[in-house]
Amino acid sequence: MGSILRPGVMIVEIIVLMGVVWSLFLGMKLTAFDFGVEEKYKTFLCWVFMIMGCLALVFFIAHLVTFYPRLST
């Protein structure tokens, strides 16, 4: 039963972690614009945060697949 639930639990955990990362990146972007980064850099910042988010997603998936505990009976 534990091995059946493992992929579902990992997907939920990845969704939660990516939600945290997304809100962190959004806060960094809004802070950068508040401190005077010009509007012409908005597209560049969006691409940078999207690439960093994809790298974080790959990192989380790799580590959850590798280190998530297996329930063996």
Q: Tens digit of pLDDT for each residue in 24-43? A: 998 988 888 888 888 888 88
Mean pLDDT of the 17-23 span: 93
Cα Rg of the chain, angstroms? 17
Sorted by where each begins, the domain ranges of the chain are 11-67
CA-to-CA distance for 68 and 62, rounded, in angstroms?
A: 10
Q: Hey, what are 45's tokens?
A: 């910042």
Q: Hey, what are 48's tokens?
A: 């940078």
- pLDDT(73) > 60: no
What is the sign, positive or negative, of the torsion defined by CA atoms of 22, 28, 31, 35? negative
**Exposure of 5 in the CB half-sphere (CA atoms within 13 A):** 7
